[in-house]
Structure 1
Amino acid sequence: MTHYAARVTVDDFRDAVPSHLAKRFRAEGWWGEQTLAQVIAGHAATRPDAPAFHADHGTTTWSQYDALSSELAAVLVAAGLPEGSRLAVWLPDGATVHVTFVAAEKAGLTVVGIGARAGDRELAYLLGKTSATTLVTMATHRGRDMADLFETLRVEVPTLAHHVVVPVLDGAPAGRPYVVDGQLVDPAGLAPAPAERAMGPDDLFMLNSTSGTTGMPKCVMHNQNRWFYFHQKAAENGHLTSSDVFLSGVPAPFGFGLWTAHFTPTILGAPTVLRERFDADEALELIETYRATVVTCVSTQFIMMLNSPDAERRDLSSLRAMFTGGEAVPPTRARRFEEVTGASVLQFFGSNETGLLTGTTLSDSFEQRMTTAGRVVPEMNVRLFDGDADVTASGAGQPAGHGPALCLGYLDDDTANAELYTEDGWMLMGDIVTIDDAGYLTVTGRTSDFIIRGGKNISAARVEEEVATHPAVVLAAAVAVPDEVFGERVCVYVELNPGRQLDLHSLQDHLLRRGASKSDFPEYLIVLDSLPRASGGKVAKGQLKSRSAKDLLDQRRSAQMSTQES
C-alpha cells in the first residue's frame, strides 16, 4: 500500500491524496467537495451581521470575514504570487490570521503557518524548509520592525521574495491599505482573485510545524478534508451547534487550534472568542462576558484557569463542555474543573499528524471521561505495534491509524516519514497505550517519554499525574536524569500555587498516603516559578532535561551553603 506522503513533493500541491482513498472517504461520507471559503460565503449570505470572531481589537462578522479574505486574496494575486507558491503567515491570534488563511485559499496559495512565539532561528528554518516565497506579518511583531527583519531573512532564505504587511483586520471594514514590498497598495479597484485559482478540499492548503520540544520542527502537510472530517466527530461527541460560543486557547497554526478556531466554529456558523495571548484570569472573564459554552485548551491552560481565584468568582454557568488534550489530562484536576464550572471535560487522543484516533463523548460515563482518552474511532482503523510486530490482539502497544483524519505526511523528509509510517502505510504515534475490550484507550506513556530506572520503564506521564495531586502543585513535568548505578533517576519539575512551598520529603509523604507505586515517586524535586513552554503551549520537557544536571548541582550547593551557615 502506498501511503499519502509518497504522492507529495515540494513542487506538487495538487492531488496530494491517492484518488482511490479520496473516493472511498467520500463514499463513506467523511470527505466532501466544500471548502472553508465556500462555507464562509454561505454564512455571509444568510447571516451577514452575526459574529464570526470576538478578538482583541473588535468583532468580525461573517460578511466582513468573507469580504476581507476576498480583498486580501486580490492583493496577493496582484502582487504576482504564483499559484501554488508558499505563503508564510506569522501573525498573532485573532481574526486577522484566519482571514489571511482563507485569503490564501482563495488565491491558490499554500499557507506556511508559523506560531506567533517562534524565534528568528525557527522562523528562518521554516521559511527555508518550505521554500516560502512570501512572508505575511503586521508592521511590527512583539515590538520589532518587520521590514528590517524581512531584509535579514532574505539573505538567509533564497526563495523569499515578497513581504506583505497586513493591517489589523479584527472588526475592520474592507478598503484599508496593505503594504507589499514596501509599497502602499489600495485594494479598491483590484480585480478579484480568479475563481479557478482557489484551493479544493483535497489540496495541500497548509504546512504547519510539530510543536516539538527539541531540535527544529518537522513540517506537517494538511488538506482541508481531514479537518472537515475531524469537525464531524467533534460535533457528534460534544453535541456542537451554531448556538454554541467557542473560546479557543490554542494558537491557530497548530492542529488543535485549527479545528477549534478555524474549522469547527466556522462550519457550524458559531462565534469564536480569541485573544493574542492566553491569560487565565482574562479567559474566565471572557467566558462570563460572551457566555461561552465551549472552551478548547491544553491541559496546562485549564489548570491555570482552575487555580485562578476568579474561577470561584466568575459566572461560568454558560459553559457546558471543555475539549482538552495535547498533553496528559490529570484526572483529579479534570474532576475539579467539572465541579467548579459544571462543564463536561472531553478529550481527543491523536496528534497534528494523525488527527483523532479516539475521543470521549457526552454520552460516556463520568469515569470513562476521567480515566480514558475515549473509544477508538472505527474508521481510523487503529492498530497496535511493538516495534515492527502487530500486537493489536494484546491490547497494549504503540498505536497507529489509517483513515480520513490523517495528514499528508512530512514535507520533504524521507527519514521522518519512514519513522512516521509502518511499512504498509499506517501512521504511528509516539505513545504507548492500552485498549480495553470495549474499545476505550488509555495512554500509559510515550515511546520517548519513559524514564528507565534499573531496567524498569517508568511512565513520566504517570509520575506527573501523581505529583499533580498534591494541593501545592499547579503543574508537574517529570524527566530522566543520568545515574551511574541505575542508569536514570526520576526528577520532577513543578510550578506551585502562590504562597505555597514544597520539598521532596513532603511530596513523597503525600504520595505514600495516596498509595502511589514507589516507582512513581520522584527522587529529585526542582521548583520553578514557571515551567518553560514550547511554541504550541506544551511544557518544553527537552529544555528541562538538558538543564536538569545543572539545576540539581545548584540545588545541592545551595543546600550545602545553608547547612554551613546554620
Structure 2
Amino acid sequence: MSAGGLDTVGSPAFADEDAALFRAAGWWSDATLSDAVCRNAEFAPDRRAYVDHLGTSLSWREFDHAASNLAQQLAGIGVRRGDRIAVWHGDSAAIHVLFVAIERCGAVVVGIGARAGTREVAAILRNSQPKILISDPERGPTAAQAAGEASVSTLIVDGGPGALRFNVRTQPRALEGDAQLGPDDVFLINSTSGTTGLPKCVVHTQNRWHYFHQKAVANGSLTPDDVFLPVIPTPFGFGIWTSHTTPIYLGATAVIMRRFTARGACEAIARHGVTVLCCVSTQLTMLMADPACREHDLSSLRVVFAGGEALPYRPAAEFEELTGAKILQFYGSNETGLLSATTLDDPRERRLRTGGRIVPEMAVRLFDGDRDVTETGRGQPACRGPATSLGYLGGADHDTLFTADGWMRMGDLCEVDADGYLTVTGRTSDFILRGGKNISATQVEDTVATHPAIAVAAAVAMPDPVFGEKVCVYAELVDSQTIDLPGLVDHLLALGVSKELLPERLVVVDELPRSSGGKVAKGALREDIRTRMEADHEHS
C-alpha cells in the first residue's frame, strides 16, 4: 500500500490478512477505474459514457482518448506519481475525465465540492498540500484567491472534454509505464460535508468503492444498459460511487446536472430515459413534492438509491406508485461506506422505513461510548470491513472516529431489530435537551413530515431560559400550500403523536440551507433561530 500507509495518511491501513480475505471473497479487485475505462472503450466503444448540461456527449472511446490526452498534458507540466492534485470544478463530464487522467499519472485527486466557499477551499488546501489546484473558468478568480492563501499554484482547464486544455502552454509527455495507481493506493482525498466548522479530509482507495459498487449492482440489479442520474456533488462519497465508480465499472451511461433542481431532474429523466436515480433523501423529498414529477414521463425509472436522512413514508410510497420505480435506502457515510442496505426483494415497509439489513461482511457492532452493547440492539454503530476508508488525513480526530480497539464509528444512534434491519433513531449530537429530556430531532422531523403541506422539515434546538431548549421546526412547503403552528400541532395530536415531539415554534422558509454534500445545514438553522429570538427580545 504505497500510498495508503501510516506515513502518508496517519490512519490505520488494512492488515495484510484482511486484504487477502477481501480479495479471496471477490470484494476487492486487482483492476482499476482506468482499466475499466480501457475495457469499456474496447468492448462498448460507441456506448454513451457521460452526458452533461453543457451539451457534451462522450462515448467510452472518446472518454478514454480524452483522459489519455489530458494525462499527457498533466505529465508535461510535471505531475508525477504520488503528487496530490486538487480539483475544484463544477459537475460535468469534464470532471470525470480529469479524475481518470490524474489517476493515469499516478497522482491523487483532492476533491473539493463545487459549492465550497473560499474559506473551506483554503482549509482543504492547507490540510492536503496539493501540488496544484485545477479549476474551471467559473471558479478561476476565486480559486486563485483561495490557493494564494494556501500557497498553492493554480491551473484552469477549459474547452470541450474531447480537447481539454489548460490556461498555460503545455508540452504533452508520454506517461511512465509504472505511473498508474493500483486499486489499493490512495486515489482520492475528499472532505466531509459537515454542516458546521471546517471540513476534515477523508482518504480513499479504489477498492473500498469497488466493494460498494458490487453491493449496489446486486441490490439494484444494475446492468451496463442502465442510465444513471446522480445528483449529488461528485467529490463526496455518495456522489463518487453514483457518478464515477459505478458508471465506469459497469460501462453504463451517466447524465450529469450542473446543480440539482426538482424540475431539472424530472426533465433529465424524461429526456434521457433515466433508469437509476441517485440522490440524498432531502432531494428525493423535494422531487416528490414538486408538481414537475407529474408533468413529465418518469416511467423509465426502475430504481432510486437514496441515503443521508430518513424518507417520509407517504410521499415516498406515492412516488413509487407514480413512477413504478422502487426506492432503495442504504445507511453509511463517506468514512465508513455502507453498513446496511435494502434490496429490490425487500417489501415496501422495509425499503421505506428502514436503512436495510446489516451487511454481514461489514461486521457492524453497536457501542455506548467504548462499551459494546450490540446485544441490546441499540447504540452507536461502528464497523470494520471492505467498504471503510483509511480514516482522516494525518490521523485527525482519530479517537473520535475510532473506538479504542479500532472500530470505525458512525455519528448516529440506531436500533437493529431481530431480522437485522437497521433504523436510525437520532444523531449523537442531534438531540434537543428539553427540561432534562432528550428529544430526537429525527423523530420530530418524521412526525412533522406526515402533514400534507410539508415537503421537508428540519428540527433544531431553540434556546429557552426555563427548559434550556425547546423544539423548533423549519419547513419547506408543498407547492402553494400554507400552514401555521396551531394547525400543525392539531394534525399531530390527531395522529396520536407524543406531546414531547410537538414543535413549539414553526418557521416556514422557501428553501432550507444545505451543506455542500446536500444535507440540511442544521448549524445555519441553529444560528438563525438564535438571531430570530434575539430580534424578538429586542422588540418585546
Name the TM-score class by shorter chain: over 0.9
Return the letter of the residue paired with 1:184.
R
Q: Residue in 2 aligned with 1:295?
A: 277
Q: Residue in 2 aligned with 1:523?
A: 504
Is residue 228–residue 247 contact of structure 2 (8 Å, CA) maintained in 1?
yes
Of 345, 361, 365 in structure 1, the residue corresponding to residue 327 of structure 2 is 345
Q: Deviations 1:161-181 (Å, cap 9, x if unpaired)?
A: 3x2221244xx434x5322xx
> What's the TM-score once normalised by structure 2's chain length?
0.96
Of 220, 241, 255 in structure 2, the residue corresponding to residue 259 of structure 1 is 241
Q: Residue in 2 aligned with 1:86?
A: 84
Of 158, 162, 173 in structure 1, the residue corresponding to residue 162 of structure 2 is 173
Aligned-pair distance for 1:127? 0.7
The whole-number CA distance in structure 1 between the counterparts of 2:509 and 2:534 is 15
Q: Residue in 2 aligned with 1:157?
A: 150
Return the letter of the residue paired with 1:502.
I
Q: Residue in 1 aligned with 2:345?
A: 363
Q: Residue in 1 aligned with 2:26?
A: 29
Q: Residue in 2 aligned with 1:128?
A: 126
Aligned-pair distance for 1:6? 9.7
Of 169, 176, 183 in structure 2, the residue corresponding to residue 184 of structure 1 is 169
Q: Does 1:114 align with 2:112?
A: yes
Matched ranges for 1:173-252 at <5 A:
173-174=162-163, 176-179=164-167, 183-185=168-170, 190-252=172-234
Return the letter of the residue paired with 1:216.
L
Is residue 461–residue 526 contact of structure 2 (8 Å, CA) maintained in 1?
yes
Q: How many residue pairs align between the two structures?
A: 538
Return the letter of the residue paired with 2:150.
V
Residues 314 and 184 of structure 1: is their aligned pair in 2 closer, same or farther, counting only changes over 3 Å?
A: same
Return the letter of the residue paired with 1:513.
A
The whole-number CA distance in structure 1 between the counterparts of 2:474 and 2:529 is 9
Q: Residue in 2 aligned with 1:431?
A: 412
Return the letter of the residue paired with 1:19.
D
Return the letter of the residue paired with 1:204.
V
Is residue 16–residue 202 contact of structure 1 (8 Å, CA) maintained in 2?
no
Q: Deviations 1:488-538 (Å, cap 9, x if unpaired)?
A: 111111112333222111110010111111111111111112111111111
The whole-number CA distance in structure 2 between the counterparts of 1:436 and 1:168 is 53
Aligned-pair distance for 1:17? 3.6
The whole-number CA distance in structure 1 between the counterparts of 2:220 and 2:384 is 23
The whole-number CA distance in structure 2 between the counterparts of 1:87 and 1:520 is 47
Matched ranges for 1:498-509 at <5 A:
498-509=479-490
Is residue 122–residue 147 contact of structure 2 (8 Å, CA) maintained in 1?
no
Aligned-pair distance for 1:192? 2.5
The whole-number CA distance in structure 1 between the counterparts of 2:384 and 2:10 is 22
Stretch moving more, 497-506 or 421-430: 497-506
Stretch moving more, 50-59 or 491-500: 491-500
Q: Deviations 1:450-505 (Å, cap 9, x if unpaired)?
A: 11112221110111111111121121110012222222111111112333222111
The whole-number CA distance in structure 2 between the counterparts of 1:88 and 1:339 is 43
Return the letter of the residue paired with 2:51.
H
Return the letter of the residue paired with 1:177.
R
Q: Does 1:464 align with 2:440?
A: no
Aligned-pair distance for 1:155? 3.7
> What's the TM-score once normalised by structure 1's chain length?
0.91
Q: Does 1:104 align with 2:102?
A: yes
Tell me, what secondary structure is at the counterpart of 2:115?
coil
Tell me, what secondary structure is at the counterpart of 1:226?
helix
Aligned-pair distance for 1:370? 1.7
Stretch moving more, 546-555 or 323-332: 546-555
Q: Deviations 1:392-417 (Å, cap 9, x if unpaired)?
A: 00111000010000000000144x11
Matched ranges for 1:51-66 at <5 A:
51-57=48-54, 58-66=56-64
Tell me, what secondary structure is at the counterpart of 1:252?
coil
Is residue 228–residue 276 contact of structure 2 (8 Å, CA) maintained in 1?
yes
Return the letter of the residue paired with 2:169.
L
The whole-number CA distance in structure 1 between the counterparts of 2:517 and 2:496 is 34
The whole-number CA distance in structure 2 between the counterparts of 1:430 and 1:68 is 40
Q: Deviations 1:400-446 (Å, cap 9, x if unpaired)?
A: 010000000000144x1111001111100011111111111111111
Tell me, what secondary structure is at the counterpart of 1:332?
helix
Q: Residue in 2 aligned with 1:441?
A: 422
The whole-number CA distance in structure 1 between the counterparts of 2:42 and 2:3 is 38
Aligned-pair distance for 1:91? 0.6
Q: Does 1:73 align with 2:71?
A: yes
Is residue 16–residue 203 contact of structure 1 (8 Å, CA) maintained in 2?
no
Tell me, what secondary structure is at the counterpart of 2:162?
coil
Of 10, 16, 19 in structure 1, the residue corresponding to residue 16 of structure 2 is 19
The whole-number CA distance in structure 1 between the counterparts of 2:81 and 2:88 is 20
Is residue 256–residue 352 contact of structure 1 (8 Å, CA) maintained in 2?
yes
The whole-number CA distance in structure 2 between the counterparts of 1:43 and 1:502 is 52
Aligned-pair distance for 1:556? 7.4
Return the letter of the residue paired with 1:273.
V
Is residue 185–residue 205 contact of structure 2 (8 Å, CA) maintained in 1?
yes
Aligned-pair distance for 1:552? 3.5
Is residue 5–residue 409 contact of structure 1 (8 Å, CA) maintained in 2?
no
The whole-number CA distance in structure 1 between the counterparts of 2:366 and 2:210 is 26
Tell me, what secondary structure is at the counterpart of 1:140?
helix
Residues 538 and 46 of structure 1: is their aligned pair in 2 closer, same or farther, counting only changes over 3 Å?
A: same
Is residue 193–residue 517 contact of structure 2 (8 Å, CA) maintained in 1?
yes
Q: Residue in 1 aligned with 2:378?
A: 396
Percent identity, aligned pairs only, is: 50
Tell me, what secondary structure is at the counterpart of 2:169?
strand
Return the letter of the residue paired with 1:404.
P
Residues 72 and 398 of structure 1: is their aligned pair in 2 closer, same or farther, counting only changes over 3 Å?
A: same
Aligned-pair distance for 1:322? 0.4
Aligned-pair distance for 1:149? 4.1
Aligned-pair distance for 1:337? 1.5
Tell me, what secondary structure is at the counterpart of 1:304?
helix
The whole-number CA distance in structure 2 between the counterparts of 1:475 and 1:194 is 51
Stretch moving more, 543-552 or 206-215: 543-552
The whole-number CA distance in structure 1 between the counterparts of 2:532 and 2:412 is 28
